[in-house]
Chain A
Amino acid sequence: MSFSAFFYDKRLRSVLFQALLVLSIAFGFFWLIENTVSNLSDQGKSVGFSFLSQTAGFQISSTLGTWLMKYEVGRSTYLDVYFIGIINTFVVAVLGILAAAFLGFAIGIMRLSHNLVIRGFATVYVEMLRNIPLLLQLFFWYFAVLRSLPSRREQTELFSGIAGINITGLYLPAPIAQSGFMIVILVFIMAIIGAVMLSKWATKRQYKTGRTFPAFWAGLGLIVGTPLVAFLALGSPLDWSFPEFKYTGPLLRRGFQSGTGMVIVPELIAVWLALSLYTAAFIAEIVRAGILAVAKGQTEASYSLGLRPGITLRLIVIPQALRVIIPPLTSQFLNLTKNSSLAVAIAYPELVSIFAGTALNQVGKEIEMIAMMMTVYLTFSLLTAAFMNWFNARVKLVER
């Protein structure tokens, strides 16, 4: 085979070019890694994760993360800081997703209302909230929250004094579990399983015999009632730590006393408000699109069968709308989780703030720490996506 024939062989040529492509990509990666490692060693930096067991020498604002990890300066390690960041990010993401979903559905349905005022309000809400950058909204809510609250030496009492709020946060009674409380939680979980089974049985029976069963109310009774009975039977195995407020004494000691009750810092409230209000605007549009995607004939057919409007919405329109709503809704949930990293701007101690900010500056292991952080967001997002895909598989059109 001559040299030119070698290149005119179509099959050979395509293989050659593909091999070259693979090679250049592989070499690109090799070059990148090689360069990084040699540059790091030039700067006298090693690669590794041993820093995680060093103790972290800085204070972190008290949040769920510091409480769960029992954070203490001089004892807790950078690994603890990492977990505190994860927990705090998780808290914001979960609270935000729940609030944004509820609010988004409500606003979305309001946008389709026949009432001009309701429809107008929903339209203004959506157009305003989704067209202002999230970071600005975050600052707005933070400083709006701060400016509207009483100062540190004063409080607004809530629920006749068992809770209170001022600029340092919302103080609630903190539950302290006594021995035996685990049984109540166990009973509660069993009651939920029972309620689910009850509802399945009721649906089955209705299909078979046509007789309805008030499964919702019975299930609610089961979920609330049984643990309550167990709780009382065990002699109320739960103590409360109430927030303590001092109006007198040295100026610096006045206000809520640390170590009493449970505090929700204003930073968390602001991040939660901003994230859920912003994302709700997008979800509202998705919901509206989903409902409009259900043909009008479906509603008319339902009415002509004698179903009432509420049941029509719940049993006919929403299930069909969900097919359209779920996939874009998933990406909104993912956006919200990732946007929670903006909380670094207003001092909420989430992952980016304490791990990639403070801890990174002390330790200087940029590559390892950023990689660890990316892993967290990736895991959060993949888990959310997996759950939503499972849910989507349940509600999507069953093709026969």
Chain B
Amino acid sequence: MSNNLVIGIGALVVGGVVGYFAGAGNEKIVEVEKVVEVEKQQTATLDAVKSKGFVQCGVSQGLPGFSNSDDSGKWTGIDVDVCRAVAAAVFGDSSKVKFTPLSAKQRFTALASGEIDVLSRNTTWTMTRDTQLGLNFAGVNYYDGQGMMVPKSLGAKSAMELDGANICTNTGTTTELNITDFFRSNGMKFNLVAFEKADEVVAAYDSGRCDVYTTDRSGLAAQRTKLTNPDDHMVLPEIISKEPLGPVVRQGDDQWFNIVRWSLRAMINAEEMGITSANAKSKVNDNNPAIKRLLGSEGNFGAELGLSNDWALNILSQVGNYGESYEAHVGPNTPLKLDRGVNELWSKGGILYAAPIR
């Protein structure tokens, strides 16, 4: 009996020691592999994309106007157009892109693990995400902010009149914090009803459980289309948070970072210069040197990115400029009916301002 015990314990100890060292050795090997993998990723996104023949782009699971797929599986939206622009810049063909629908939770992991090359999924640019998650935001393609929607019958013209309101929203986002801060700082009382999913928020708001529905303004516009009578509701003018949305890439691959960043900037600069998908090809020999530089008939800008010189021409002739993309997917003539607002060019009173190509 006691012999058994001694042998058992002996085996445990020996096994433990062996196991520990085996484990420690493995760890080192794993670490080395990790470093190699990271180095590979850091230099090779463009090469990897070229060799596989398409850009893998992470998008939402369906947010009308931003990234949404139709019955035939065709993706549309302003976030989708960023992906298409990158594909056009790299391959000269905006259709060489594949989409991965991702939930809010999955998106950063998918990007960090190399499953996707670009994340273009209405993602808010914050300091934590920029510094702690190993990501880089390549720019802003939509300046959003948290807003409030109310039934017109309520007669409220401003959020300041909402003292004592019942407010519906989603759990697990910063919207709860923002709305609480707003009401507290203005000394107003309110009652928060927080649901897990957006569909239930819409249904509860539609049935009159709440006076107010709060989330990002673009989200309000998209969800309003699901209400029984969308025209009976209005979005209040107050914006209570800053939510700059934009495409994201992995940190550490500056070449790929530049390609995504300048693909977006080319679209914004083109709108400023009046270049559209219709006239892009005829503008190649324009007298304006800035247009010539953008469209590749002067200078060597495409090659500096590691692309061909007609990279921007391909983006503009196949995808169009920023304004065209906006009007087609979220503008006043779409179900979302979003005015340009701050997303107008700086020269027209907005804050869209792309660095020059020179």
Binding site for B on A (CB under 8 A): 11-12, 15-16, 18-20, 22-23, 26-27, 31, 43-44, 57-62, 73-74, 139, 142-143, 146-147, 151-152, 167-168, 251-253, 258, 266-267, 344-347, 349, 353-354, 357-358, 360-362
Contacts and interface: CB of A to CB of B under 8 A. Distances in A.
A167 B191 contact: no
Given A58-B176, A151-B208, A357-B171, A252 B161 contact: yes
A360 B172 contact: yes
Interface in B10-44: 11-12, 15-16, 19, 23
Interface string B193-211: 1111100100110011101
B8 A15 contact: yes
Interface residues of B, number: 46
A23 B189 CA distance: 59
Complex A-B, nearest 6 residue pairs according to Cβ-Cβ distance, in ascending order: A19-B11, A59-B192, A357-B171, A23-B15, A58-B176, A361-B172
A11 B162 CA distance: 79
Contacts of B207: 143, 146-147, 167
Contacts, number: 125
Nearest to B6: A15
B182 to A, nearest CB: 11
> Helix, strand, loop or mixed for chain A's interface?
helix
B193 A357 contact: no
B298 interface: no
Nearest to B10: A19
Q: Which of the listed residues A58, A74, A253, A362 has the most CB atoms from chain B within 10 Å of its own CB?
A: A58
B166 A168 contact: yes
A27 B209 contact: no
Contact of B19 (A27, A44, A146, A253): A27
Contacts of B11: 15-16, 19-20, 23
A252 to B, nearest CB: 6
Given A57-B180, A59-B191, A61-B191, A252 B171 contact: no
B184 interface: yes
B164 interface: yes
Contact of B165 (A18, A167, A252): A252
19 contacts: A11-B4, A16-B7, A22-B12, A27-B15, A27-B19, A44-B132, A59-B179, A147-B207, A152-B208, A168-B191, A252-B162, A258-B189, A266-B209, A345-B200, A347-B196, A347-B200, A353-B196, A354-B171, A357-B194
Contact of B163 (A252, A345, A353): A252
Nearest to A345: B196
B355 interface: no
Contacts of B183: 59
Given A27-B16, A152-B166, A360-B172, A347 B191 contact: no
A20 B15 CA distance: 8
Q: Which of the listed residues A62, A74, A252, A362 has the most CB atoms from chain B within 10 Å of its own CB?
A: A252
A347 B208 CA distance: 15
Contacts of A349: 194
B193 A267 contact: yes
Q: Which of the listed residues B12, B179, B183, B195 has the most CB atoms from chain A within 10 Å of its own CB?
A: B195
B180 A58 contact: yes
Contacts of B197: 345
B130 interface: no
Contacts of A168: 166, 191, 209
A144 to B, nearest CB: 10
A146 B193 CA distance: 13
